[in-house]
Amino acid sequence: MATVNSDFRKIAAGYLFPEVARRTAAWQGKNPGVKILRLGIGNTTEALCPSIIEAMHRQVNKLADRATYTGYGDEQGNTDLRKALAGYYRSFGVELADDEFFVSDGAKADAGNIQEIFGRDNVVAVQDPAYPVYVDSNVAGGRTGSFNPEKGCYDGFVYLPSTEENGFIPIPPDGKVDLIYLCSPNNPTGAVATHEQLKAFVDYANACGAVIIFDAAYCEYISDPSLPRSIYEVDGAKRCAIEINSFSKFAGFTGVRLGWTIVPHDLMCENSAPDELHRLWNRRQCTFFNGASNIAQAGGVAVLSPQGLRECRDLIGYYMGNAKIIREGLRGIGLTVHGGVNSPYIWARTPDGMGSWEFFDLLLEKCHVVVTPGSGFGPAGEGYVRVSSYGHREDIEAAMASIIRNLKK
């Protein structure tokens, strides 16, 4: 008789975004015909850039002709894309070998799967609040106890609170942990770690044989040149860090699907042989993954060309224009607002000590605007909402006008 994996049952009921969708649909059901303005899920809305579309069309044409048709590619990604990725990192001073890049169909799957190459008894630390897949994949991987609904935490997990006091970037834990998930620019808080803040984690990890899993999915949103885009800008990071990244927010590939993970040859953990973690990830990908779409990879090479980078950075500038409108609008009604400068997310403190879901419901009810309740990202997110700058400019303007009209005291 088959039995279920009981660790999966521990994943707390109601993944955040389905619950947002459920409440939104219920409200729409009661208020048909009212336009809801969505600043909730971080989903891109603008068309792909012209040079990327052209490159993908060219790849489709190759597939249409048996002389140029190609089937499966390398599980690790096409050579030209891996070379282009190494060139991209070189452009901000990080030297990595082409074969340290593993191309994937997106950062979420990599962020969920990476824990598979680490021992089940590893103690895991996570920034709190955090993108939910870091916690949920380790719950499913059997590294935690049960969810404690009162505390909003899993037993056995180490939460590193990101608060207004620490500028939403925690310091390394006091005790010893084995895996540490960091995300900068951060989803959901919009905070960006400085070089010194990352160095503290790298030094900690190298001192105790821990591994950092660094999610840099929003690195292209950093406009301040003093802020690191990659953890490998910190000396010693290749010995202790894996970096995960994505073309989703960089180039609007949320639906196209393309990302990458860097597992350096130098990476070590407490009991690994030299190069073993790199080889294990390679083994994992070759066993369970058959390579990213060749059309998407042709697009990825185009993103990293000088013309592609120019076009994508213009597109990011558009979303950052939205972020500015949101930040200023929310400040204008007296909210305390963070993020939205080197990041597309605005992290707003709820007014009058309201709970995150309470403010979510108020915004939906009174302003017809959907945001994301901060508590869904972890216990330290309670009392905040995340506002996303992904949207058409006219919708962002309409949402802010509605918030200002209905909530201004």
**Tokens coding 274:** 């030299």
Binding-site size for ligand PLP (CB under 6 A) equals 14
183 binds ligand PLP (CB under 6 A): yes
Q: Which is nearer to ligand PLP, 180 or 407 (CB)?
A: 180
Rounded distance between C-alpha atoms, residue 255 and residue 246, angstroms: 12
231 binds ligand PLP (CB under 6 A): no
Residue nearest to ligand PLP (CB): 106
Q: Which is nearer to ligand PLP, 122 or 254 (CB)?
A: 254
Min. distance of Cβ 398 from ligand PLP in angstroms?
23
What letter would DSSP give residue 143? Answer: -
The 3-state secondary structure of 84-141, one letter per residue: HHHHHHHCCCCCCCHHHEEEECCHHHHHHHHHHHCCCCCCEEEEECCCCHHHHHHHHC
248 binds ligand PLP (CB under 6 A): yes
Min. distance of Cβ 47 from ligand PLP in angstroms?
17
Among 141, 228, 259, 378, binds ligand PLP (CB under 6 A): 259
189 binds ligand PLP (CB under 6 A): no
Among 48, 94, 217, 320, binds ligand PLP (CB under 6 A): 217
Q: Which is nearer to ligand PLP, 230 or 248 (CB)?
A: 248
- Structural contact between residues 163 and 374, judged by C-beta atoms closer than 8 angstroms: no
Q: Which is nearer to ligand PLP, 268 or 371 (CB)?
A: 371
246 binds ligand PLP (CB under 6 A): yes
Helix (H) or strand (E) holding 181: strand 179-183
Stretch that binds ligand PLP, among 105-113, 189-197, 305-313, 349-357 (CB under 6 A): 105-113
Min. distance of Cβ 221 from ligand PLP in angstroms?
11
Min. distance of Cβ 192 from ligand PLP in angstroms?
13
CA 199 → CA 94, 237, 400, distances in Å? 15, 8, 38
Rounded distance between C-alpha atoms, residue 272 and residue 325, angstroms: 49
Residues 6+ apart with CB under 8 A from 201: 172, 180, 182, 212
Stretch that binds ligand PLP, among 57-65, 80-88, 104-112, 219-227 (CB under 6 A): 104-112
Among 122, 194, 254, 282, binds ligand PLP (CB under 6 A): 254
Among 40, 106, 228, 376, binds ligand PLP (CB under 6 A): 106
45 binds ligand PLP (CB under 6 A): no
User: How many residues are given for the chain?
Assistant: 409
Judged by CB under 6 A, the chain residues 107 through 166 that form the site for ligand PLP are 107-108, 111, 131
206 binds ligand PLP (CB under 6 A): no
**Tokens coding 361:** 């419901």
Rounded distance between C-alpha atoms, residue 203 and residue 38, angstroms: 41
Residues 6+ apart with CB under 8 A from 387: 39, 326, 330, 340, 345, 346, 347, 348, 371, 372
Q: Which is nearer to ligand PLP, 115 or 402 (CB)?
A: 115
Min. distance of Cβ 215 from ligand PLP in angstroms?
5
Our CA dihedral for 162, 175, 149, 355, rounded to 10 degrees, sits at -20
269 binds ligand PLP (CB under 6 A): no
Rounded distance between C-alpha atoms, residue 94 and residue 84, angstroms: 13
Q: Which is nearer to ligand PLP, 183 or 363 (CB)?
A: 183
297 binds ligand PLP (CB under 6 A): no
Stretch that binds ligand PLP, among 25-33, 103-111, 286-294, 350-358 (CB under 6 A): 103-111
Q: Which is nearer to ligand PLP, 187 or 350 (CB)?
A: 187
42 binds ligand PLP (CB under 6 A): yes
Beta strands (DSSP E) in 222-375 are 241-246, 259-262, 337-339, 345-349, 369-370, 372-373
Rounded distance between C-alpha atoms, residue 109 and residue 117, angstroms: 14
**Tokens coding 352:** 């009058």
348 binds ligand PLP (CB under 6 A): no
In the complex, the residues that contact ligand PLP under the rule CB under 6 A are 42, 106-108, 111, 131, 183, 187, 215, 217, 246, 248, 254, 259
